[in-house]
Amino acid sequence: MRDPNNWEDPLEFKPERFLDSSRSSQKDAIKEEVLRYIAFGSGRRGCPGANLAYVSVETAIGVMVQCFDWKIKGDKINMNEAAGKITITMANPLTCSLVPRTQISLSSK
């Protein structure tokens, strides 16, 4: 915190040096501006629980696939895409119903 290579007058109390307007290098200001808009992305605003969330979601999906049968409404899934969207989305959202697996349904298959 007192390195003269990083700070002008490192031994003096100057709280204004931490304001954006007083930074000597614009590179830091640009980097800070870019990172401000990356929610849970990278930098010091990165989500500390991201890895835990990935493990939790994978476990939940695995349990749902193993413990339930999946039923859809109708015979086929309509895979048409919605027009005029930036991202690819389904025109008719997929609706699934979960049917719990029991010992009876496992033995009959």
Q: Is 28 helix (H, G, I), strand (E, B) or coil?
A: helix
Alpha-carbon distance of 28 to 22, in angstroms, equals 11
Alpha-carbon distance of 27 to 54, in angstroms, equals 33
Tell whether 47 is in a known binding site. Answer: yes
Convert the pLDDT of each residue in 67-104 to its tens digit. Answer: 899 898 888 888 888 888 778 888 888 888 888 887 65
Domain count, the chain: 1
Convert the pLDDT of each residue in 9-61 to its tens digit. Answer: 888 888 777 765 555 556 666 666 666 665 556 666 677 788 899 999 999 99
- In-domain check, residue 55: yes
- In-domain check, residue 1: no
- In-domain check, residue 88: yes
Q: Is 67 helix (H, G, I), strand (E, B) or coil?
A: helix
- In-domain check, residue 10: no
Work out the burial of residue 68: count CB atoms within 10 Å of its CB; fewer than 13 is exposed, 13-18 middle, 19 or more buried: middle
Amino acid at 73: K
Q: Is the pTM of this model over 0.75?
A: no
Both tokens of 81, joined, read 């895409």
